[in-house]
Structure 1
Amino acid sequence: MPYSADTWPIAVALLQFSSVARDGTKAQDATPDRWAAAFHQVARAGFRSVDLTDVWVRAADLLPARLSAFAEAARSEGLSTPAISLIRRSVLHASRGDENLDYSHRAIDAAASIGAGVVSVGLHQELTAEQKEQLWFWTVTGHQDPVGDPDMWARAVTRLRELGRHAQEVGVLLSLEMYEDTYLGTADSAVHLVEDIGLDSVGLNPDTGNLLRLHRAIDDWRDVLERTLPYANYWHVKNYQRDEDRSSGRYTAVPSTLEGGVISYREALDIALSCGFQGVICCEQYGGDGLSVSGTNQRYLRSVLPETNDYVVPQSRRLQRAPDRADLVRSEPQQHLS
């Protein structure tokens, strides 16, 4: 049954939560009551769902009992956990590609264990030293996947297909996050990658905000979404105010609310619905009180999503909603080798 404005699963990322508390306690090692305190803030911001973003706690690295306690801490605050996003864990990393691949497999098993239907991964890598010195890291060019390298492209296809097959085995969707200067950095390249992988369990996370914020010429956001949303099975949403002076080559961008930025999410959602998108939406925000801004963004999204669920959902090219968890027959987690 199609979602309505009230029932659409809208989660929030945990980018504003530090991996180390002010008293030096690592979130990874925290007690469940401290996890619950953070989730309480998420619930107070108006959310019913949360993306277990791994910059705060790495669900993939929690032992089974701790993982269960982590998920229960979210549930105790009335939150569902529909997704886990892995940040800067590229399987193409020159020295840690194998490690990141293994970590991604563990994340898929963790998602299946706690009933999260989506694992979002990307090909973006760690910030460079120069990027870390900036107020906004995207003002400096970071890692770039090699253009025109057939061996590296094949490696991306092979490794992401391996993850996609694992995800399919345990009833989870794998979503590939768009990010500049990677093989997921343009609409055409991202679609090409998904089509080369060739699994219904693998789709796109068309995080167009990652491209909009660049201080250089960019593709039109409408064109990007028209091309990628038919393949989307998860969606990070954020927005930026942007100014361009093409005659001098000057471009600037700063974070904004969804309502106040360059992307019209009213129009973007129309495109998504026309493509049959029925996936989880996740609000992300950089700078300031990002959690509160994300809460504002959720209210805006619900104000422009369909009020009822009596609309027709076009047939999509990709599986966009995870299977009903009750219908899954899960096998024991397997060892997946690169």
Structure 2
Amino acid sequence: MSGNTMRWTPQDWPIACAMIPFAPVQDAGPAAWARDLGQVAAAGFDAVDPTDSWLRLADLDDAGRARFVAICRDLGLTVPAISTSRRSVIDPVQGDDHLAYCHRVIDCAADLGAGHVSFGLFGPLSDAQRAALWFWTEPGVTNPDDPATRALAVARIRDLGRHAADRGIQVALEMYEDTYLGTASDAVAFVTDVDLPSVRLNIDIGNLIRLHRPVQPWAEMIALCAPFAGYWHVKNYYRMTDPSGVILSHPAPMMGGTINWRAAINIALDLGFSSPFLVEHYGGDGLGVCAENRDYIRRILAQRRTLP
């Protein structure tokens, strides 16, 4: 599958809220899930991605999953997708476990009627990253410059993609620094090597624009990656370069940061993009900024003459 089977309008295009503004609730129980999801609904969202840094939905038992579904239904929230975070299938210690987990995520998404999952090859935060104000200012885990490991990554993602196709699910691979999806050209090469219609790119270029190092201009990344776009995490950053060469970044609302999201989204739509969006934001009132970003995307969609 490559997108929605019926045309969405600007008003009902799925725009999910990420749960990264909330603390993990895996062991907190349904009352905590309902508290956080209630805030999402109160912010005007009708869709949520139960990001697994908040809740590993695929690891709940049948009763827990049914309770989660009931809470979402009562709040008027749909689940168009499930995103994973730091569950790399080539992690040197937990790669096999993460692969099995990602298969469970695919089955969970299919059982819930979610059409999309997002996987990445980025590893756990380092001690320095956890101690930093913004984790991306410190170096993290790097995928090895090793053809055999990259080939393993391709093979395992292809395995997931075949399973996803069998269950009617679309996989999106998240772009992230220092992974095999860490630049636009690397991401395109990787998804091309996987070579399955059920596997596309999550062109989360905000992950790259925020880096305190030279990066490719956002417009060039979009031009390369938009033809491969699937489920899409969107966020923005202010990016500043001092005359001395020092590069700094800070989270920004989508409309105000370095990336021109109106242009980026329109380029993707012109190429037939027809997957849900996920709005994210770090710092401050993350939920409030996500709600503003949702409304901004809807204005962009409404101002187009036609949609895919």
TM-score, normalized by length of structure 2? 0.95
Aligned residue number for residue 336 of structure 1: none
Q: Is 1:254–2:250 an aligned residue pair?
A: yes
CA distance in 1, matches of 2:17, 2:186: 27
CA distance in 2, matches of 1:272, 1:189: 19
Maintained 8 Å contact 2:254/2:293: yes
CA distance in 2, matches of 1:213, 1:295: 21
Alignment of 1:279-294 (within 5 A): 279-294=275-290
Alignment of 1:74-223 (within 5 A): 74-147=72-145, 149-223=146-220
Q: Is 1:273–2:274 an aligned residue pair?
A: no
Q: Mind listing any 5+ residue stretches in structure 1 that lack a counterpart?
A: 20-26, 314-338
Query: For residues 106-158 of structure 1, what are the alpha-carbon distances to aligned partners after superposition, in whole Å with 9 as ceiling and x for unaligned?
Result: 111111111111110100000111111110011111111123x2101110100
Aligned residue number for residue 12 of structure 1: 17
Maintained 8 Å contact 1:255/1:285: yes
CA distance in 2, matches of 1:81, 1:209: 23
Query: For residues 7-58 of structure 1, what are the alpha-carbon distances to aligned partners after superposition, in whole Å with 9 as ceiling and x for unaligned?
Result: 2110010001111xxxxxxx22334343222211101111110011001110
- The one-letter amino acid of 2:264's match is A
CA distance in 1, matches of 2:28, 2:69: 14
Q: Is 1:228–2:233 an aligned residue pair?
A: no
Partner secondary structure for residue 91 of structure 2: coil
CA distance in 2, matches of 1:68, 1:116: 15
CA distance in 1, matches of 2:50, 2:224: 28
Maintained 8 Å contact 2:9/2:307: no
Deviation of residue 249 (structure 1)?
2.5
TM-score, normalized by length of structure 1? 0.87
Maintained 8 Å contact 1:33/1:73: no
Q: Mind listing any 5+ residue stretches in structure 2 that lack a counterpart?
A: 1-5
- Superposed structure 1 runs of 4+ greater than 3 Å apart: none
CA distance in 2, matches of 1:69, 1:229: 37
2:8 to 3, 9, 19: 3
Residue identity (%): 48
Q: How big is the alpha-carbon RMSD for the aligned residues of Structure 1 and Structure 2? A: 1.3
- The one-letter amino acid of 2:21's match is Q
Maintained 8 Å contact 1:117/1:171: yes
Deviation of residue 312 (structure 1)?
6.0
Maintained 8 Å contact 2:143/2:179: yes
CA distance in 1, matches of 2:169, 2:207: 24
Deviation of residue 184 (structure 1)?
0.6
Maintained 8 Å contact 2:269/2:307: no
CA distance in 1, matches of 2:135, 2:29: 32
